[in-house]
Amino acid sequence: MLPFAEFGQTGHRSSRVIFGAAALGGMSESRAIKTLDLVTSYGVNHIDTAALYGASEDHLKPWLVDHRSEVFLATKTQERVGSMARAELERSLERMGVDQIDLIQLHNLVEPDEWQTAFGTGGVIQSLNQARAEGLVRFIGVTGHGLRIPSMHLRSLAEFDFDAVLFPYNHSLLSIPQYRDDVAALREVCRRRNIATQTIKAVARRRWDDGTESHRSWYEALSDSDAIQRAVRYVLSQPDLFLNTTSDATLLPIILEAAQGDLGRPLDEEMNRDIAEFGVTPLFDGAALDRI
């Protein structure tokens, strides 16, 4: 059985494995429904998508007709201007065929100029606050990629009472001292304020180096089942963390199986051995590689 925990201050008890619905983006509708049935058969009750995840929101629509009340539904907007964010939110509602989204998140809010726009007059923060007052959304979160995002999340949390944050978390990235310190500081603030902490890139191996874009995920994931199990346990052994699944849907059964049973933290020697054996490298460098 999957582990469950209160999702911050939302009042929802979420599976600590959250289905990353980017996996649905390039699927046929029939395969998307089978994938959704698979993850929920394991007990997953929390779905995370985004307006820019291809056809993901569209593929959710027929499935949600019968299952909306069973899941906590989250999506994201990449817009920073309030009017544009409102329009994107309304499109998301229509695409998924729902009248309310549980969690709307600011997608990858990391660049300083975008941050100023988002928090300024007429920015996305004002717009989403209004949408929450109207009942279109229930909670508001912020997400991001790259080594800068934990410190940017701290800046965002100093300005607004977000209900959830999302950031990369795996052994390779946490071996970078500054990133590890920033993540620790962010987690402490979130624990103190009861803000849900979501993680991504748990099973990342490295960036693709074959020069093509025809992959299920923009990064290459681990493929060894034992290494994936250790990577999943590395996250879920921390009781305050939720794990968002990879967009490579072929790995879903392995991840879901790994999330059941013993969730003890793997030894550092085991994780370091996986790094050496499978050529695991950090996906981000704080500069050029932070942009995806």
Q: Is residue 289's pLDDT more than 70?
A: no
pTM of the model as a whole = 0.95
CA 2 distance to own-chain centroid:
18
The pLDDT score that the predictor gives to residue 291 is 58
- Percent with pLDDT over 70 in the chain: 95
Tokens found for residue 2: 């999957």
Per the prediction, the chain carries an average pLDDT of 94
pLDDT tens digits, 105-161: 999 999 999 999 999 999 999 999 999 999 999 999 999 999 999 999 999 999 999
Model confidence at 285, in pLDDT bands (50, 70, 90)?
confident
**Which residues have C-beta within 8 Å of that of residue 11, sequence separation ≥ 6?**
none
Model confidence at 288, in pLDDT bands (50, 70, 90)?
low
Model confidence at 83, in pLDDT bands (50, 70, 90)?
very high
d(C-alpha 225, C-alpha 245), whole Å: 15
- The H-assigned helical ranges of 122-267 are 124-133, 149-159, 171-174, 177-193, 225-236, 252-258
Beta carbons within 10 angstroms of residue 214's beta carbon: 6
**Which residues have C-beta within 8 Å of that of residue 33, sequence separation ≥ 6?**
59, 62, 63
Helix (H, G, I), strand (E, B) or coil at 61: helix
Assigned CATH topology for domain 4-281: TIM Barrel (3.20.20)
Q: Is residue 85's pLDDT more than 60?
A: yes
d(C-alpha 106, C-alpha 118), whole Å: 9
